[in-house]
Structure 1
Amino acid sequence: MEKFKRLPQHIGIIPDGNRRWAQSNGLNKQEGYAHGIDPGLDLYRLCLELGIGEMTFYGFTVDNTKRPSEQTAAFQKACVDAVEKLKDRDADLLVVGNTNSPLFPKELLPYTERTKFGKGLIKVNFLVNYGWNWDLNYPIKNDLLHSSEDITKGIASSGISRIDLILRWGGRRRLSGFLPIQSIYADFFILDEMWPDYNREQAYRALRWYQDQDVTLGG
């Protein structure tokens, strides 16, 4: 295994390009999501092997649910299937998303409180039916905000720590509302490959780049 002089302790993953990959392979757009599950599991295994302490996957957003119903059903199922596969591994799982919506998969409700599988060696967070506006307004909507308190302590995603490195597959140069508080000082690495075409060399490329970045957190 490749060695690194410095590794991020928390990586964020934006697994984009599923629909484009499907079309380029002669499939319907919605068929691409199922092909994104195994890449996520392999990246999980790599992070576990490297000793990275936390990873957050962008499952789907509130805005994504405006897509055709067959696509919405497909990415909902992909998120549920991914979590089901993690149950056989040493993950410390948390699912964050708007559970008041009927578009939140009910199968994932038990994991909206952090749940340890096996030895719970790595924190794995899934953003499911997530919206940045919903997240930041959560303390106001739920009467959790008091004048003397830090607003970030009451946001819906408060159980997720600050992110060091964000990896986005699919070539797009944008955050797309991905955890605006935790991403504030994250380095951002773009991969032009579509997410279903993931391989470990792509992750190594990002980690090689990261270890040479100057991390100051504004100081």
Structure 2
Amino acid sequence: MSASIPYTPEELTQRGLQSERLPRHVAIIMDGNGRWAQQRGLPRIEGHRRGVESVRRVVEECGRLSLDQLTLYCFSSENWKRPPLELDLLMNLLRWYVVAERNEIMRQDIRFTTIGRRDRLSPAIRSEVDQTIEMSRDNQGLTLCLALDYGARMEMVEAVRDIASKAARGELSPSEIEEATISDHLYTAGMPDPDLVIRTAGEMRISNFLLWQISYSELWVTSDPWPDFREAQLYAALREYGQRQRRFGGLNESK
């Protein structure tokens, strides 16, 4: 099966987008699944199931837009505090997703990967995740990264421990430690930093997500919960991103 066909410049223009003004890496904090369900008198897991359809739609669209990477905050290290029944259902949904979407991942030429801790995921889930990672390793399209059991503070703690251990063994001098040294020891080593971070459900916080990597990312928030997030909201975020001037701490040339 062939990969999804990227949009032409004319098709991008029809959508109010320009390829040179698109972010290369979009990260999304997917929020509001449980509230979406509760507002409709449904179990919270129904919101998560509906959210899978949003994942499908956004992943395919990002592929057709020829973005380099899409990182989705699926399960935080703090989410383990949720009720056991909801956790079981979430883990089953995750396992189902990485199996059910394999054909689409290959059809769309997506390279699948994850960041976060692995030791608290069940062996069955780790096995399915690894299989999807391995089978898509050589794909050349969009990189789809799922943040699973992820917490930015723990990520940085583990990076510091690793760097300190190398320094203690004499493999690294403290004077040689630079920003790149830290970046190379994070879960995201080798990945580009996000250009754009999208948060759904109107929440105005980062929630321990990619704290190091998003230092200069543009932020865009929508009041729509994740189950209602579709192409229209994605385009709105991308259009606004395309109108912003990214200064990285500097000034516009005109100022």
Query: TM-score, normalization: structure 2?
Result: 0.78
Question: Are residues 1:79 and 2:94 paired?
Answer: yes
Gaps of 5+ in 1: none
- Aligned position for 2:111: 92
For 1:181 and 1:103, how far apart are their aligned partners in 2?
28
Q: Could you list the structure 1 runs, at least 4 aligned residues long, displaced by more than 4 angstroms after superposition.
A: 111-115
Question: Are residues 1:40 and 2:48 paired?
Answer: no
For 1:144 and 1:87, how far apart are their aligned partners in 2?
38
1:53-95: CA deviation from partner (whole Å, max 9, x where unpaired)? 1110001011011010112122223333332344222211111
For 2:203 and 2:77, how far apart are their aligned partners in 1?
19
Moved more, 133-142 or 100-109: 100-109
Moved more, 80-89 or 109-118: 109-118
For 1:75 and 1:189, how far apart are their aligned partners in 2?
26
For 1:117 and 1:102, how far apart are their aligned partners in 2?
21
For 2:246 and 2:102, how far apart are their aligned partners in 1?
34
Name the structure with the higher strand share: 1
For 2:131 and 2:155, how far apart are their aligned partners in 1?
17
CA RMSD of aligned residues (A): 2.3
SS of residue paired to 1:211 = helix
- Aligned position for 1:51: 66
Question: Are residues 1:171 and 2:202 paired?
Answer: yes
Question: Are residues 1:120 and 2:151 paired?
Answer: no
Asked whether the 8 Å contact 1:61–1:131 carries over to 2, the reply is yes
SS of residue paired to 2:91 = helix
Question: Are residues 1:20 and 2:35 paired?
Answer: yes
Gaps of 5+ in 2: 1-10, 251-255
> Could you tell me which of 30, 34, 56 is aligned with 2:45?
30
Question: Are residues 1:8 and 2:39 paired?
Answer: no
Count of residue correspondences: 219
Amino acid at match of 1:180: L
For 2:139 and 2:187, how far apart are their aligned partners in 1?
26
Identity score, percent: 26
Alignment of 1:136-175 (within 5 A): 136-142=156-162, 143-144=165-166, 146=172, 147=174, 148-149=176-177, 150-175=181-206
For 2:158 and 2:247, how far apart are their aligned partners in 1?
30
For 2:88 and 2:166, how far apart are their aligned partners in 1?
33
Amino acid at match of 2:31: D
Query: TM-score, normalization: structure 1?
Result: 0.90
SS of residue paired to 2:27 = strand
Asked whether the 8 Å contact 1:94–1:125 carries over to 2, the reply is yes
Asked whether the 8 Å contact 2:73–2:148 carries over to 1, the reply is yes
Asked whether the 8 Å contact 1:144–1:154 carries over to 2, the reply is no
1:135-182: CA deviation from partner (whole Å, max 9, x where unpaired)? 112234443563224122112222432000011111101110111121
Name the structure with the higher helix share: 2
For 2:42 and 2:79, how far apart are their aligned partners in 1?
20
